[in-house]
Structure 1
Amino acid sequence: MRIVLAAVGILGMLAVASVVYVTTFMDPEDFKPRLTAVVEEQTGLDIELDGALAWSFYPRIGVSVEKARAWLDEQDKDTPPFAGVERAEVSVAFAPLLRGEIAVDGLTLDGLRLNLRRNEQGEGNWEPLVQRMAERGEKAEAVLAPASAGPGADAASLDVALSIASVKVNNADLRFRDARHGTLWHVDKLNVTGSNVNPQRSFPLKAALTLSRYESLDAQAMTHPPAASSEIELDTRLTLAPAEHGFVLESPRLATRTRLVPDAEPQALRLEASRIEASLDHQRLVVTDGALKGTLHHPDGWKGGLALALTFAFDGDWGEQVATVNDMRLTGPDELRARGRLTLENWRDALRYDGQLTLKPLSLRPWLKRLGVTPNIRDPDAFSDVSLTSQIDGDAERIRLAPLSLVVDNTTLTGALAADLDGTALDVDLEGDTLNADRYLPAAAAQQAGIEPVRRALAQNAPPALLPQPLLASLALDGRLALGTLTLGGLTFDTPRVALQGRDGSHRLKTLEAGFYGGKLSATGRLDAGQVPLEWALAPRVEGVKLAPLLKTLNEGDARLSGRLDAGGAFTTQGNTREDLLRRLNGKGQAELNDGVIAGVNVSRQLCEAVAAVQERETTRDWNANTRFERADATFTVRDGVVQSDDVLITLPGIDVHGEGQYDPGHRQFDVLASIRLVDTADAACKVNPRLAKLALPVRCEGSLGAEPGDWCRVDQDTLADSVSRLVGDEVGSRIEEKLDEKLGEGAAQELRDGLKRLFD
């Protein structure tokens, strides 16, 4: 026992004597040349130690350096240094040295400065340094170990127990000039603290910094507000994996406050996870049970911000350029609930992605309002039930949803939807069941969608545009839509099929086909949206359309005119409102109505009664209450929105009607003058003197489609009297001619007329 106590006493006396000797007789400045030589030899950096080099003893041995700067081998010292530090200190525990171990007690860096640059070819100024240190790593360890232990120490006899009680990086500043992308990145106020740093087990780590981006490489740009800035904080437990050059973050909490506009409200994001694993050797990153929460703000204000939350799991392989995001669930206000997955590939060269997205039913109206869109539509409940399920694929320029199932209110659409992310191309191929498009038209336009007149409300307010002209001017469009039923303008279209195609502002209606009130509707057309006003061309055609239900829908009442309508034409117009399109409408067309009936009025009866009055007789026939005609057709011309025709032909039993007139659809006014002649047929409406069959009886129909049909048409008595007078004159002349020919010979009457004519020439 006495021998042991004596040995301990001797060792203690030797330790105290050693400390007294070193602190008294050795100057730490003598180590500067040795230290700078080692750094330059191992890294290639040209280092200057402008400040003091000092050390301390018990309870720890420490070395500190002040005002150190380092330049890269190819750098001129007149340029800003590659790296610098205001003060650096490292200390080792005293007691482990007695056991032949080196235990780093603390590491502190104050005022670290680092200047990183990347040229236009993508080469970084730090790359030669990293490569050199990797090549000489083992030799550096062999040299630095004895340098740390002092002259004459044997590196092999010391064990470095890497368990740093405290690591601190205070107020670091990093700048990255990226000539390849023309941006300057600045990391300032970087502070890092860690305790009990050990490669064998996890230890707590905290970091905070401010990251800013400038859209200029000029250092003067940093005197102005950055294009974007973010305050970043990290709090986690870090486990090092030196063998794989990796690390593990346990329960990390990463918070950011980002300003995309100077002085704007920051966009706050917070990332949490149960575990984040990273391996530089395997180039892999795995996030387990990730949760991203954020509060987003809009310049116009979102009433305290928009709170969103996304949970996910991430697994990325940077070597293979493959990453998957699984179990994504997005929640937010106003019933926002979405889930999906996403796989990304080849993001360095040509990004590709695919996945799946499901959006639970929600009201779209509050979300449109947040985007600055206030729907001015007829139905206040429209967009109140919207959901979506689709596969997703695309690249950095284009996204595609297919197969897609989209529910909007009472309409279900399936098919495919694709668009360029810059909004210059749109491909649509959809099928649906029932769509009431009137619900989504602008409120004023929806009220005017039928054949309604222009109301005073539209005179007080600018009519809404029908189409987005700026978008169509640059849009490449390829669209197909098939529906079970479409309601538009109050009209019903059965199984409509539409095909559109366009580019550079020129768009074509390739196909429009639909069942239309018992018949068929088809059309082709063209739209030039590259200029203002928009130019339209349309060639519509209807076949076998039942006129009575069509007119009933348009007039919202019982229709008096029935039959089957065939019509077609080619028309042009200009504008982007319904009123402009009608006012500038021009073109030609033809129409034919078969088996027509006008309910509530009998033109044959009015005609026969007029003829009977001329012959001083009375009619005794039982009359049908309606007017029936077998055929009605005409060609017409449209000039500046007014429909005109001079060859209207209507055929009734025993009666032929020829007419001319015009119709103004904007005001729903018409004016038609018909010339009616009796014809000798088996089902003639009435029997008259054969000479009166030559008489053209005039009937004028005029008024408004909103008036009573019984008031539309009447016999024009004045024109009828003129016709009768001409007929009587012709009869008298014919009889005189017959008498002259009997007395003077055939042709005498004509010679007499010619002679009288010459007397007056």
Structure 2
Amino acid sequence: MKAFGKILGLVLLGLLLIIVAAGFALTHFFDPNDYKNEIRQIARDKAHIELTLNGDIGWSLFPWLGLELHEASVATLIKPDEPYADLQMLGLSVRVLPLLRREVQMSDVRVEGLNLRLNRDKNGHGNWEDIGKLPTAAPAPGSTPPAAAGEPVAETPAQPEKPPQPIRLDIDSLTVNNARVEYNDEQTGKQFSAESIQLSTGAVHDSTNIPLKATAFLSTNQPVLRVRTELNGELRIERALQRYKFEDLKLSGELTGDPLQGKAMTFSAQGQMLLDKAANVAEWTGIKISANQLRALGELKANDLDKTPQITGAISIAQFDLAKFVDSIGQTLPAMAEGSLSKVELVSRVAATPTSLALDNINLKLDDSSFSGRIAVEDFAKQSLRAILKADTFNVDRYLPPKSEKAASATQARQTEVASTEADAMAGAGSTPLPDKPSKSAWSTERLFPVERLSKLDVNADLTFGQLTLDKLPIQNAALKATGQGGLLTLENLRGELYNGDFEAKGTLDVRPNAPLLNLQTRINRVPVEKILESQGKNPPVKGLVNLTSTVTGSGNSQQALIDTLNGNASFVINNGVLLNANLEQQLCKGIATLNRKSLSGEPRGKDTPFQELKGNLTFRNGVASNPDLKVRIPGMTVNGDGDIDLKVLGMDYRVGIIVEGDTSAMPDPACQVGEKFVGIEWPLRCRGPLELGAKACRVDNERLGQVATKMAGDKLSEKIDEKLGDKVSPELKNALKGLFKR
């Protein structure tokens, strides 16, 4: 037995020496470069590709089957002269004996200078679509022609295919240096590229963590962007379970390009990623994202990967300065108050599909405001925005652009005009001529509505606020419901409490016509009118609680255009108010003194005139409001008015009558004692000038005062006729004589 074992050992040793000698002989006396043409032909016949080998082929046989290709390129048989890939060197080695067990054990795999070119032509055809295809050509002589139409074709019974056994993958390392991938779309002119690709891995084994590091420069031309990226982590491949993990993922880089206006954004992303193809699930947990000043945490999970992926998760964005962040990436926010968007923080649940995104259970902090609720884009293509939000406080004004210099100059000029007129009116206290009508427009001609954006808007919003500041008005318990679709925006309801009163508004804005159409209905209940005017920077001519209902329409895309086309109607009542710096008693006293042919002995006093009620109805026609039934009830007298308000310049022109109703107490000046003879007479005033002056723009109407004097003289003659004639003549004759003198 010992001899047999010795002999067997010698035989095996001899066989091994023979194999080694054969491998040495093959690798030293057999040169694969002599068979390049045969190799190219095999590539054409078996793989249907055009393989070009410009460099040398190096190889080894045992115990490693080694191969090195230099200066090689690959093209399709359809376009053999247009390679879609080339490389400087590919080197790999495979252990021979494990191949017999369907195990791939490779040493280091190196790829140098890989260049992959993908191109889609003007017809939308990609060059990669021709890989493995044969060119269309006439059938070769002796080949079997295809069956003619209608002829039965012999069917070859299908042989059941056995599922291939999985091949074990075992690579010591993979290295890719200086690779480049480019994509060109001739239809759109878009180009994408990944350059200077560097990839290195540790040992590649199934179901073990594979250290991986990659760097690349990415770029695109529409828009021009360039990204420097670096990726680190450990990749785990579990092929039997169809599970792929990327643990301790760290992606970082820098983004530059035209959209950033010469600035740069540094970014990083970390976390654990999982793809489970068997369960059609993908996860990204432990997310940490940063982009300049922005920092975020979260987790995401995607289900139904084989159908329509459904993404769920959560996101938390730490407080950051949004305004500075936007500036740091070369973007510009609309002009707003200084310090706005300096403190932004968000916590929310996330739900998304390839066409939609929803943020649920929102906790959003925006400067001094806190929001909760839901925001969703139901369809990216249609920009379908849905919002249900509740806020504690929100100041809209701080996020609106300030008035332009042109509008500010026009406003300042108008205020100067009004202030000068008001000073003259107060100085004269009713003795100066009537103020001139204002001549300067009170409204901006700048574009008001972003028609292009509004025409594409698809929105449904339901918003509530504990306190909402809008146009400097502090609105309590505000609620807004609005929709917009296809260019028609509908304000279903805007309501709130204002200065212990309340208001409500509804309306539509149609931006589909060339000139947008506005329709608005409003209701105001017991709101101090002076507070509204003061909030707009205007001097209130009146105080009191106003009740107002109105329905108006207008068209155009500027304030001035809307006012110029304003039509509709309104009714108003102001209760328990005061006409500020307007002494109607003084105006009445001046008229009485004139009829008494006396002069006022005292200086006019600039006190207010309280009233019980001020009411009327307005009819708007192209920016002019007609008010034929103005009525003011003042203790002891009634004021009637009939006039117009020109909203284009905020001017008024009224004829006013004051009627003493029976309070015959002494007036403050002896020259204007009322007495019984003045009871029931309508004393005429004319009010003209800027609307802000209110009753301060009123003067005695001397023309109409003469008519009052004539009437009073006629009444006095009628009394004398009665006294002298008594019952001596018939009543018909006395009435005829009275009428004669009253003409």
The reply on whether 1:523 has 2:505 as its aligned counterpart is yes
Rounded Cα–Cα distance in structure 2 between residues aligned with 1:237 and 1:157: 23
The reply on whether 1:513 has 2:473 as its aligned counterpart is no
Indicate which of 27, 51, 65 corresponds to 1:104.
Answer: 65
Q: How does 1:564-575 map to 2 (within 5 A)?
A: 564-575=545-556
- 1:582 aligns with 563
Q: Are the equivalent residues in 1 in contact too, given 2:326–2:332 (CA < 8 A)?
A: yes
Indicate which of 254, 268, 271 corresponds to 2:214.
Answer: 254
- 2:154 aligns with none
Query: Judging changes above 3 Å, is the alpha-carbon distance between structure 1 residues 162 and 418 closer, same or farther for their aligned structure 2 residues?
Result: closer
- 1:723 aligns with 708
The reply on whether 1:607 has 2:588 as its aligned counterpart is yes
Rounded Cα–Cα distance in structure 2 between residues aligned with 1:580 and 1:713: 30
Rounded Cα–Cα distance in structure 1 between residues aligned with 2:471 and 2:340: 16
- 1:84 aligns with 51
Query: Judging changes above 3 Å, is the alpha-carbon distance between structure 1 residues 565 and 446 closer, same or farther for their aligned structure 2 residues?
Result: farther
SS in 2 for 1:579: helix
Indicate which of 681, 703, 709 corresponds to 1:695.
Answer: 681
Indicate which of 672, 688, 702 corresponds to 2:654.
Answer: 672
Task: Give deviations 1:197-224, integer Å, cap 9, x for gaps.
Answer: x9557434335533233436xxxx8xx9
Q: Are the equivalent residues in 2 in contact too, given 1:592–1:632 (CA < 8 A)?
A: yes
Query: Judging changes above 3 Å, is the alpha-carbon distance between structure 1 residues 231 and 283 closer, same or farther for their aligned structure 2 residues?
Result: farther
* Code of the aligned partner of 1:111: A
* Code of the aligned partner of 1:285: Y
Q: Are the equivalent residues in 2 in contact too, given 1:186–1:211 (CA < 8 A)?
A: no
Query: Judging changes above 3 Å, is the alpha-carbon distance between structure 1 residues 711 and 651 closer, same or farther for their aligned structure 2 residues?
Result: closer
Gaps of 5+ in 2: 1-5, 79-93, 130-167, 416-439
* Code of the aligned partner of 2:201: R
Q: How does 1:521-600 map to 2 (within 5 A)?
A: 521-555=503-537, 559=540, 561-600=542-581
Gaps of 5+ in 1: 30-50, 55-63, 76-80, 95-101, 118-144, 150-154, 188-197, 756-761
Q: CA deviation at 1:169?
A: 5.3
* Code of the aligned partner of 1:593: I
Task: Give deviations 1:87-112, integer Å, cap 9, x for gaps.
Answer: 89574455xxxxxxx43244547625
Q: Are the equivalent residues in 1 in contact too, given 2:105–2:171 (CA < 8 A)?
A: no
Q: CA deviation at 1:415?
A: 1.1
Task: Give deviations 1:33-56, integer Å, cap 9, x for gaps.
Answer: xxxxxxxxxxxxxxxxxx8339xx
Q: CA deviation at 1:644?
A: 2.6
Q: CA deviation at 1:493?
A: 1.5
Q: Are the equivalent residues in 1 in contact too, given 2:444–2:559 (CA < 8 A)?
A: no
Q: CA deviation at 1:408?
A: 1.8
* Code of the aligned partner of 2:291: G
Query: Judging changes above 3 Å, is the alpha-carbon distance between structure 1 residues 586 and 564 closer, same or farther for their aligned structure 2 residues?
Result: same
- 2:142 aligns with none
Rounded Cα–Cα distance in structure 1 between residues aligned with 2:328 and 2:23: 74
Query: Judging changes above 3 Å, is the alpha-carbon distance between structure 1 residues 300 and 655 closer, same or farther for their aligned structure 2 residues?
Result: same
Q: CA deviation at 1:368?
A: 3.3
Rounded Cα–Cα distance in structure 2 between residues aligned with 1:13 and 1:395: 62
Indicate which of 224, 227, 231 corresponds to 2:195.
Answer: 231
Q: Are the equivalent residues in 2 in contact too, given 1:388–1:405 (CA < 8 A)?
A: yes
Rounded Cα–Cα distance in structure 1 between residues aligned with 2:223 and 2:502: 61
- 1:383 aligns with 341
Task: Give deviations 1:552-586, integer Å, cap 9, x for gaps.
Answer: 333466x5622111111101112333333333322
Q: CA deviation at 1:266?
A: 2.6
The reply on whether 1:361 has 2:295 as its aligned counterpart is no
* Code of the aligned partner of 2:337: D
Q: How does 1:184-199 map to 2 (within 5 A)?
A: 184=126
SS in 1 for 2:279: coil
Indicate which of 324, 332, 336 corresponds to 2:294.
Answer: 336
Query: Judging changes above 3 Å, is the alpha-carbon distance between structure 1 residues 354 and 7 closer, same or farther for their aligned structure 2 residues?
Result: closer
Query: Judging changes above 3 Å, is the alpha-carbon distance between structure 1 residues 454 and 409 closer, same or farther for their aligned structure 2 residues?
Result: farther
Q: How does 1:55-204 map to 2 (within 5 A)?
A: 66-71=39-44, 81-82=48-49, 84=51, 86=53, 91-93=59-61, 102-106=63-67, 108=69, 111=72, 113=74, 115=76, 164-165=106-107, 167=109, 182=124, 184=126, 202-204=172-174
Q: CA deviation at 1:549?
A: 3.0
* Code of the aligned partner of 1:362: F
Higher relative contact order (CA 8 A, sep 6+): 2
- 1:475 aligns with 457
The reply on whether 1:409 has 2:359 as its aligned counterpart is no
- 2:383 aligns with 424
* Code of the aligned partner of 2:335: I
Q: CA deviation at 1:737?
A: 9.6
Task: Give deviations 1:473-498, integer Å, cap 9, x for gaps.
Answer: 12111101111222222222122111
* Code of the aligned partner of 1:408: L
Q: Are the equivalent residues in 2 in contact too, given 1:454–1:666 (CA < 8 A)?
A: no
TM-score, normalised on structure 2? 0.74
- 1:213 aligns with 183
Task: Give deviations 1:701-755, integer Å, cap 9, x for gaps.
Answer: 3333566x78433322332122211342365468769999966645457899999
Rounded Cα–Cα distance in structure 2 between residues aligned with 1:585 and 1:665: 9
Task: Give deviations 1:623-644, integer Å, cap 9, x for gaps.
Answer: 9943121111000122333333
* Code of the aligned partner of 1:724: A
Q: Are the equivalent residues in 2 in contact too, given 1:103–1:161 (CA < 8 A)?
A: no
Q: Are the equivalent residues in 1 in contact too, given 2:118–2:184 (CA < 8 A)?
A: no
Query: Judging changes above 3 Å, is the alpha-carbon distance between structure 1 residues 737 and 389 closer, same or farther for their aligned structure 2 residues?
Result: same
TM-score, normalised on structure 1? 0.73
Q: CA deviation at 1:550?
A: 3.0
Rounded Cα–Cα distance in structure 2 between residues aligned with 1:493 and 1:516: 5
* Code of the aligned partner of 1:574: S
- 2:309 aligns with 351
Q: CA deviation at 1:538?
A: 0.5
Give the % identical residues: 20
Rounded Cα–Cα distance in structure 1 between residues aligned with 2:599 and 2:101: 136
Q: Are the equivalent residues in 2 in contact too, given 1:111–1:171 (CA < 8 A)?
A: no
Report the count of equivalent residues: 649
Rounded Cα–Cα distance in structure 1 between residues aligned with 2:301 and 2:365: 26
